[in-house]
Chain A
């Protein structure tokens, strides 16, 4: 149990376009999901906490208007990178919380040209 999926697993887009990443908890309901960003050979950096039915809580330094988060149901959260630029290229990972534990998705590699 506790399987989390992400889609797509990788995406390449042109500068200025928007990209949506989906995070789903497949076999449990998650009132809270998290979005992380990870640079090569570095640890996870929390971007925001997503709560079902309410606005996301963003970490300091993360632009709310650039990284739009929607937690539409107990099994789905989406991250939209708006007007993406090359510096947004990174590995984005979501996690879903269950009983105080976090279970991670496989990650999405975003490359902005």
Chain B
């Protein structure tokens, strides 16, 4: 298996633009997580899905952020409009089941908003 795949790996955009981050989880994993990492705040859980259904989005910072999982093999995290404070590394992770505490992380997307 190729592991969790994220794209793009790097994204530079101007304030006010829409940004879409993409994730392909490991096949067969029914949990998908989106995290954001900054030096100041560490690794923050934004939202997670179970069987393509959003379970907890309490970590989503504000309405500018939205996430979808239209099928078991694809998820997106969208920021519209983007702001400089959104600059961070965004990780996607997947997990095989409730009792499987081991999560597999993707390589991350480094977002820079100027």
Q: Do A and B bind each other?
A: no
